[in-house]
Amino acid sequence: MAHWERVPVLPDFAGTTRAERQGGSYLRYHPDRLASVSNTLAPEVLERATDVSTAVARLGGRLRANPLPVLYSTALRSESISSSWIEGIRATVRDVAVAQISDEAASHTANQIVRNVAAMRGAIAVLGAGRWEHDHLWGIHHELLPWQPEGYRRDQVWIGGTNKLNADYAAPPGPTVHSYVEDLLDYANTSGDSPVVLAALIHAQFETIHPFEDGNGRVGRALVHGVLKRAGLIDGGVIALSTALRNDVTGYVDALTSYRYDGDERAPALNDYVGRFLVYLESATAAAEHFADAATGLHDRWRATVVGVRSDAALHRALDLLTENPVVSARFLAENLELSLRRAEKLVHQLQEVEILSPATGKYRRSPLYQADDVLALLSFGAEAGPRTVTPERLAFNDVDGDDAGAGQRPVLVLRCGAPTPKGSCQNRVPAAGQKCWRHRT
């Protein structure tokens, strides 16, 4: 049965704080084993779980019907940035983009977030595919924090405070961690609970066990995305869970605290926690729909810009590369697109002409870097937006083809004559807007 254990601490005369030198005691928590207890929820909580599942499945259907590389890559990065932000690891989206192509030019914080992106991508891939194993969790954690020992912690850990005597929460003792995670994996692999309930409980149990010395929050939030993918609810994207949580960090911590019941108080604690977590999932799904609208608009606008360029041209491959790496150099393009440096420099010039790339600004303005401002704006939007946040003006283009006056008109790379002919408008290429081809000059 779940319980709090009071642990005595002998005086440590070499301690760095007065509390350590005096000694005392602290409380550490022993949760129930998930696979052996009932997870029965109140009817109103189950009803909300059904509604949230429907909303997530609707989003998943939309993403499967219209898979966009820019949507998946930016959503994943935005989620990773927000998840890191919750842990106090904060960098601008541009710093993260620079770290993706050059860890030497970026800050340690930005490099940490890049590792979080890789860890979350790996978590979704492996946990969304089938049975969960200890090796999967160790691999995700190693991707995130490669300098830490592989496997679960062996020592006592706590959250908040300067030591375990004044900590906000002390997790179960190290020797019990492996068996607790074994039980969590058993529950994850055998439970018939609704996927959104399963995700909520796995996340709370994982954070309660705190199986690693560091990185538990980031790994624990990645588990939620693994559950939703494995259940077939969502693929080709992620819900904005960490964004919803970072907008209410205090409430998120309170929700996890409410899960840590004592004795036979499981039912009320479970209903309270799951109900709160479903609100975050609901908000995250609505924000993801909003984000998908902006990403789709960006995709359509970029493709309209390069319409008429043959599909195997380097320009199309460059757009795909920019969705993953919104800060690039000519040399980076040359290496990744297998082009000569001269051809890559010409490509940069083309992308600048149509306002897809611009010279890097701020502290990178003296560097040979170029940035895709649209993608950086989308990343910022995804990392900070809620379901009702107004889309930034840069992303709020409706007239992607430039047919109507007003916002939305953007340059195009291939200009057409457009003169009327018996078979429709003339599609001969011209060097500048408003010019006619040789057939239709007067």
**Measured distance CA(50)–CA(290) in Å, rounded:** 21
Among 46-50, 338-342, 380-384, 426-430, where is mean pLDDT lowest?
A: 426-430
Q: What is the pLDDT of residue 405?
A: 38
61-83 pLDDT tens trace: 999 888 888 888 899 999 999 99
Domains and CATH numbers, the chain: 3-285 (1.10.3290.10), 292-399 (1.10.10.10), 412-442 (no CATH)
**Measured distance CA(43)–CA(83) in Å, rounded:** 31
322-355 pLDDT tens trace: 999 999 999 999 999 999 999 999 999 989 988 8
Residue 18 has pLDDT above 50, yes or no: yes
**Measured distance CA(75)–CA(62) in Å, rounded:** 14
Q: What is the pLDDT of residue 406?
A: 40
Among 11-15, 154-158, 245-249, 430-434, where is mean pLDDT lowest?
A: 430-434
Residue 407 has pLDDT above 80, yes or no: no
Q: What is the pLDDT of residue 57?
A: 95
Q: What is the pLDDT of residue 404?
A: 41
Residue 354, Cβ neighbours under 10 Å: how many?
16
